[in-house]
Amino acid sequence: MNKIALCVGVLLAGGLASCSSEGDIDRGSGEGNGNGYVEVSLKSDPLAVEVSGSKAEVDPTYRVDFVDQNGNIAKSIADHKQITEPIALRAGSYTVKAYGENESTDAGFETPYYAGEATATVKSGASTVVEIVCNLANVKVSVSYAANIKDNFTEYAVTVTNEDKGSLIFEENENRAGYLKCTGTLVWKLNLRNKNGTSYELTQKIPNVKPRQHYNLAFSINESADPNEGGVTTTITVDKTTNDHNHSMDVVLNPKNKPQVVGTGFDIDQTFAVTQGTATTCEMSLLAEAKVSDIQLSHSSAYLSSLGIPTEVSLVSVDATTEATIRAKGITWTTPVSDAMLVKLNFGTLLSALPLGDYAFNLLIVDTQNQRVNKTLNVTVAPDVDVTTLDATDIWAKFATVNAKWNSVSQPEGVTFAYKKTSDAQWTTLATSAVTVSAANATFSATLTGLEPATAYQVKAVTSTQDNATAKSFTTQSASQLENMNLESWTSKYVPAGPWCSGNNSFVKMTSKETTTVATTGGVSAKLQAKAAVGMFAAGNLFTGGNFAIVGTSGGEMDFGVAYTDRPTSLSGYYNYTPGSVDYAADAYSSMKGQSDICQIYVLLADWDQPFHINTTTSTLIDVNDTHIIAYGQLSNNQSTNGWSTFNIPLEYRSSRTPKYALIVATTSKYGDYFTGSTGSVLYVDELSFGFEAPVTWKQ
């Protein structure tokens, strides 16, 4: 069988080597079944490989992929040397790609990577010959040091990186060529140490780097430089087989001070704030003791680009038309720039005309000693007043506290807030009398009340004359109640439905409401009655939780708390309490005997990972100072209510964390956990509910 060769040549300093041959085609059994043929033979020119500096790769191996028009690999040959007969492919258009060795090497010595591709149209029953030229896909780097470097320095090395895909270190005796993946940039850093032990570090970035370029970095001392300064001359050339680039510079070892950027009346390292539409001055002094070589201004703002301000421009080499456009839009600078020791740059006119938003202007100052300083001017164009951040502490179910600041020099007239549901068109403006102002801090705040739970809102800061601030969005929290908080549902005479439980269900009884002071009539309530059994006292109690179990003859275990994630501000309801005289007391509370008993209703929110497990026999009880408790409130009373009375218990918050559990406890005897109280005490509770209105109480 004869072959038609698909030739792969290598384009290097030695030129293009290629090969081709022709002969008869053995079509095998593919003819007429929609297949065509590509006959493949790849060669590498040993001379070209030797010129590249990689003698080890005299006979390289290539992977060959046949990619169809949908981007799928129809066939892949791992080693081109294994191609000994025609390749059958379905008729169609293909891109044939060849990949040399070292494809995955980011950076290495004597590891060039070659690749190439060509298109092919395969016809049914026909043969196609395709020639691929494989070019060097890396950038090649060589480093050399002049004798005066070696004579004057005990240590010297250059690190070359492409800023993304690897780096190479060329030490004193490194004569091999290095190859790096081409990312468009090379950065070299020269480290020197002289005989006195003084170290120097010099660096430069080379932009617009392309594959096939060969950079020779040649370092030597510039002996014609000022003897009081000394210097290193660096010459960079690109192999003439591709492009001819020459880079020469003097790098001074004892340089003058680096360039500086100083803001007039402001810190360049802080964000420069501008009130939209107001005149401002934003002037910077660019100081270069060794004189300016270049000043580059860049940005990434689409809006600035739309004004005709280039994303990157040199103030030294800018053309007259572009300079006129930039100046007309409000960026001005003093001239001449080149060889100046001071250039003043002013953005004030531009900033005064910018719309709301954040902008960044990047400055690169290069002096004649190749010292480079980068600075970024960050600018915020803000309205005269603006709402600051909203967080979980500020947003509740039915109210939200909002904070704002003014950006102008003096306080605007009539600072306040406007708000609305996101779904509404009409804004509501809060009365200025509801706003608290801190002139010293240029801030103001207010609480928006009457909001609906779980609802999206928008709020913005406004003044008597301006309403241009960007609205901030927030969503109020939900405002759910626990199941059966009104205690109307009972599974039996002694067991309220839902999350309710008691230390002894016989001490809790469903009873008709007494209506002497209750605003609504009808329905049922819970009656809690203290009792004694086998000489031990047990208070009447009701709580949210479950899993009550008797321990021995005098104790109990139970789980306190039910799942709940909202943030109420109060617990309200009705209670009717008749205290008896304490007739049972533990030793520690013996002084209470004969005194009036004390009822207690308390509520807490906590972020326990599970309900709190109570065990009275081991005194495992809730500590109200537990760090898991987010909010707490309680009512205690040792007086008779003389019938039904309302109560409202504010929840005192200790944290803005989200709760996981809610616990409500009502008991005839506050110290019942310690077997102290009166068997004559009776407590009725009814119509419990969480409140979500402002204000919220925070623990001091």
Distance from CA of residue 202 to its chain's centroid? Answer: 34
Rg of the chain over Cα atoms, rounded to whole angstroms, equals 42
Give pLDDT, residue 512: 52
Q: H or E segment at 640?
A: none
542 DSSP β-pair partners = 666
The residue to which tokens 């047990």 are assigned: 538
Instruction: List phi, psi (to 5°) of 304.
Output: -65, -40
The residue to which tokens 């306190």 are assigned: 560
CATH architecture under which domain 490-698 falls: Sandwich (2.60)
Give pLDDT, residue 605: 98
Give pLDDT, residue 585: 93
β 214-221/138-145 pair status: parallel
What fold is seen in the domain 260-382? Answer: Immunoglobulin-like (2.60.40)
CB 169 within 8 A of CB 189: no
- Side chain identity at residue 399, one-letter code: F
pTM summary value: 0.56
In the chain, which stretches have pLDDT less than 70?
A: 1-33, 40-59, 222-255, 504-522, 534, 550-555
3.40.630, 1.10.287, 1.25.40, 2.60.40: CATH of 8-136: 2.60.40
∠ CA 682-683-687, nearest 5°, is 155
Torsion of CA 417, 420, 421, 423, to 10 degrees: -130
2.40.50.140, 2.40.37.10, 2.60.40.10, 3.40.50.150: CATH of 385-475: 2.60.40.10
Q: Sign of torsion, CA 216 220 224 229?
A: positive
Give pLDDT, residue 537: 85
Q: Which two tokens stand for residue 474?
A: 């927030």
Q: Strand ranges (DSSP E) for 150-213?
A: 153-161, 167-170, 178-181, 186-194, 199-206
How far CA 262 is from CA of 297, 401, 579, 659, in Å, comes to: 16, 40, 77, 50
**Distance separating alpha carbons of residues 181 and 139, to the nearest angstrom:** 6
- Same CATH fold, 260-382 and 8-136? yes
Q: Which two tokens stand for residue 654?
A: 């200790």
How far CA 199 is from CA of 154, 170, 202, 253, 264, in Å, comes to: 10, 17, 10, 10, 35
Q: Which two tokens stand for residue 148?
A: 């005066």
CATH architecture under which domain 139-252 falls: Sandwich (2.60)
Give residue limits of the domains in the chain.
8-136, 139-252, 260-382, 385-475, 490-698
